[in-house]
Amino acid sequence: MDIKNLKLDEIKRLLLRHISVHGSPFQAEGLFEAETNDDAEISLRIDLLERVLELLRSEQKHFENRLDFEIFVQGSISFEADSLHYNFPETTRTLGSGTPPIKLQTKLLMFLLLHHRSAYRVFDIIDNFVKTVGGQLDPLDFKKTRTGVTRCFTNTRFAANTLRDYGFIKFTHKEAYKTWVLSLPGFLVASKVVADGNWFLPQREKIYQSDLHPEIHAAYEELKTYDKFVERLAAVCKPDIKVFKTFEPVLKKAYSLLGEYWHVIKTEDMTLKERKKKSLELISELENVPKIEDFYKEFSACINVENLLKSLHRNTPK
């Protein structure tokens, strides 16, 4: 059985049959409180087995896995009489480096929209985002680098770094820790993405013309009027809200800056470095519009997160 197409149910059954656990840490320590009972049973056995192997590594003084991950995933696994059989590939090929960061950008913005009221640190944002889209990721995304970081965690950071470079997300200190929050352009793109109603990662184009995903560039195409701009934001809110009327002067000033902002992002008359520099200057100007922070607070409270999550849950990849 090819590893990329491997269904892991048999391995789960092996863990349940051959690893016996006495006592339950689930309730006392809350180790797996976010998981169902069946998932928690499997998760505990995975963790126990990993800890035992760590002890064995220590005894063997074999601290690093020398089996190249790219070679491993090109082999095959079979099961027979409660035994796992691994077959090395006869030939190998270059596999690439997993899901490119650019492919994660739009769904990361959507994640930040849906969890903008969550008190997440940066690591928790990445961890929960990877859990959300993990079913679509390539096995290579879960390779650990020499620094011990899982590749998809690194690629999510790279995706966020590019979004920060253009001002779609802001890196801030909140409650004495670092977190990522959406800027107004970030909310606009995320509102467009959430309207698609699913967590499916965008298909990869053969060649990207920009370091921003095409869906980000396309998100402004429908916002050529102020009314369309407000309509986009209102689409993720509860009905009959007054925030857009209350903050109309603030939003009209912000909207006037957004036209130039999107022009800068798309222009070919600047170098990449110049585009990023100018876009951040415009974001800084936008963030300094009087009462914009008050708008963010009231807009945040109006977002209908519960309904959005329910609609997305029905279209989550398995």
Q: Tens-of-pLDDT digits for all 318 residues of the chain?
A: 566 666 677 888 888 888 888 776 655 455 555 555 677 788 888 889 999 999 999 999 998 888 888 888 888 888 887 788 888 988 887 777 789 999 999 999 999 999 988 878 999 999 999 999 988 898 889 888 777 789 999 999 999 999 999 999 987 765 556 889 999 999 999 999 998 888 888 876 666 678 999 999 989 888 989 999 999 999 999 888 899 999 999 999 999 999 999 999 988 889 999 999 999 999 999 999 999 999 999 999 999 998 888 877 655 655
pTM, two decimal places: 0.81
Beta strand extents in the chain (DSSP E only): 76-80, 83-87, 169-174, 177-182
Beta strand extents in 11-104 (DSSP E only): 76-80, 83-87
Structural domain spans, the chain = 3-87, 101-313
**Long-range contacts of 128-133, Cβ-Cβ distance < 8 Å, separation of 24 or more:** 129/104, 129/156, 130/156, 132/107, 132/199, 132/316, 133/104, 133/107, 133/199, 133/201, 133/317
> Token pair of 244, please?
């857009």
Q: Of the candidates 191, 190, 169, 166, which has an alpha carbon nearest to the alpha carbon of residue 180?
A: 169
